[in-house]
Chain A
């Protein structure tokens, strides 16, 4: 299976802190890959490194056959990467509609995609005019995902989609991500192992800034010892 994204032994810094000290991630095209690990292990920094938001000092990041490390974040994103950050980062001074429109990369992206988006998230259509941050947590998460879908992206980086959401909404979110993965490759950072194991096909475990284990999710689910050792969950 050919990979859409290959991260090879990267060392990344945020300010002067050496956060990632050798992370390898291989993302096969058309799949969902979960980055697992404890709090502060470096999962979010891995996503930021892919986008160039954290400074990558060594190692390679290859997206669709092209080395992207060292490029400006907006140039990397414009190659076709959508980002749904932790805490959603909805723009407070922009209405819900503007939060979607700003993600246009070509003129008319929003008009073209709006039916598709509102099929996925019918709730958003009701609130187009109100400020983005007036939405509930779950709706903001949906808006953040919708925003990443406006432009024609081939890869979606989603950071903690289930954080702080009610179980019903998490289920909706999972259904949406599963549906999306039929057309877009997804890299998921998820603390909730249950959610991750139900969604993802592949996994990478990151511990203290290093990738320590990777493979197929169905093998990890069987490996109780590894789950306990790396994730501390039952």
Chain B
């Protein structure tokens, strides 16, 4: 018992501090405000956790500080929004995206091919660049001719802002069908696939080692076939799929949006790791520059496609009352009938999506990833690899594949967080930056490579932010004086940094970090 206390002393002290803090907070603001502020803190903490957990998994195993994590969170929100508000655009985009991506799924095949054919040293050096150049040229010719019915950014009535507004009002702006005018459909499809194959072959050639010979299995072609079939199916069933998605209940559409955000994020992560980060494992500084650069490229890309304006994402129908419902709901059973956006708890209005749904999803993901880490072979390899990558390799485990998987998982968590947060926070180009900062502070508090540390840190950051905001409204009476102290808004981010400074002064490795 005594050794238990000593072993977990840090954790116990942390909880003691939180308890004392809560006791004071509860006395200062009353139970109603206290409850709502805590729930808000949980909500912000959940979203922060999703970004921080991905960051910590990637850093722990790969030693890559993925500073693009915030931008990827933002991109996730925009992807989810597009699926949710403009399903037609999503279906239109599926075909070209699948075709562009299909070449990269053949990495094993390219390596096998280039090990088979013997080339002179000069050709070997020149060929990858030539293939990449031809691939890019193909893309440049075909992509502009490909009909994409995206919104018109210059025309206010057809910009994402008005689409979002219309969706929020429960109507939808008319859908513009994609019509091939400038190019024959068959030419566009084969051209894009060909361009992708050439480009990916060029990229694969850089890392190819002629001395290794791998046997090619049929299994290596499955992802390629799957992507290709998806792309073609989206092309031929375009109208059916669009109509199906438009008629779908928004709750289900939201679930699809979340799924697409995770899959899209994971695919993007796998692509970034295998194409951009893999050649730089021996040069950590370059990786850092790469991820910073990627985050700027990502922001500019989003500005070009979706514009600079902020817009909203309507909450799913599960959180929208039917006409004639008595809102706010007074009990949970009444809420299940009426689907009000708020529920009355202790005379306070609790927002169901922001303050109940987001924390619940956050906790679910926390537990799911925890099970993945503790109960599966992949999790075992991740935990071992965080400590000693070389030894894991020496056991005959393909660590590179695990690296790609973990990077995909980390980015997938961030993009999932983006879509989850979007109905609550809205969408803006800047939403990633402040969240990345919060996530980094949370990780410094919790311990950089510790998964429970990421959760605890994110929770603390979320709670402190929300309590400081609340006290900014009601003020803290200083004992034995008449002074009421009101923290001003700049103190909100400052308070989390202050907590980080205190924690790091006492425990340089963070609350749950390993002592090295």
Contacts and interface: CB of A to CB of B under 8 A. Distances in A.
Partners in one complex: yes
Interface string A78-97: 10000101000101111000
A28 interface: no
Interface stretch (A32-40, A98-106, A179-187): A98-106
A85 B212 contact: no
B124 to A, nearest CB: 15
B324 interface: no
Given A74-B396, A74-B399, A78-B396, A85 B384 contact: no
A53 interface: yes
Interface of B: 209, 211-212, 377, 380-381, 383-384, 386-388, 390-400
Interface of A: 51, 53, 67, 69-75, 77-78, 83, 85, 89, 91-94, 98, 101-105, 147, 151
22 contacts: A53-B390, A70-B209, A70-B211, A70-B212, A71-B209, A71-B212, A72-B400, A73-B394, A74-B393, A74-B398, A74-B400, A75-B398, A77-B393, A91-B384, A91-B391, A93-B384, A94-B380, A94-B383, A94-B384, A98-B380, A102-B392, A105-B396
A75 B394 contact: no
A93 B393 contact: no
Contacts, number: 72
Nearest to A147: B395
A102 B395 contact: yes
A67 B211 contact: yes
A77 B211 contact: no
B217 to A, nearest CB: 15
Given A67-B211, A72-B400, A74-B397, A85 B391 contact: yes
The 5 closest A-B CB pairs, nearest first, are: A77-B396, A78-B396, A73-B393, A83-B394, A89-B391
Contacts of A94: 380, 383-384
Nearest to A93: B383
Binding site of B, secondary structure by majority: helix, strand, loop or mixed?
helix
Nearest to B399: A74
Nearest to A76: B396
Contact of A75 (B212, B381, B390): B212
Contacts of B399: 74
A102 B380 contact: yes
Contacts of A104: 377
Contacts of A74: 393-400
A101 B396 contact: no
A53 B384 CA distance: 17
A186 to B, nearest CB: 16
A67 B391 CA distance: 22
B386 A93 contact: yes
A105 B393 CA distance: 12
Contact of A101 (B380, B393, B394): B380
Contacts of B211: 67, 69-71
Given A72-B212, A103-B395, 12 more contacts: A51-B394, A53-B394, A72-B393, A73-B393, A74-B395, A77-B394, A83-B391, A83-B394, A85-B394, A93-B383, A94-B384, A98-B380
A53 B397 CA distance: 13
B299 to A, nearest CB: 36
Contact of B390 (A71, A73, A103): A73
Contact of A102 (B384, B386, B400): B384
Contacts of B390: 53, 73
A53 to B, nearest CB: 5
A56 to B, nearest CB: 11
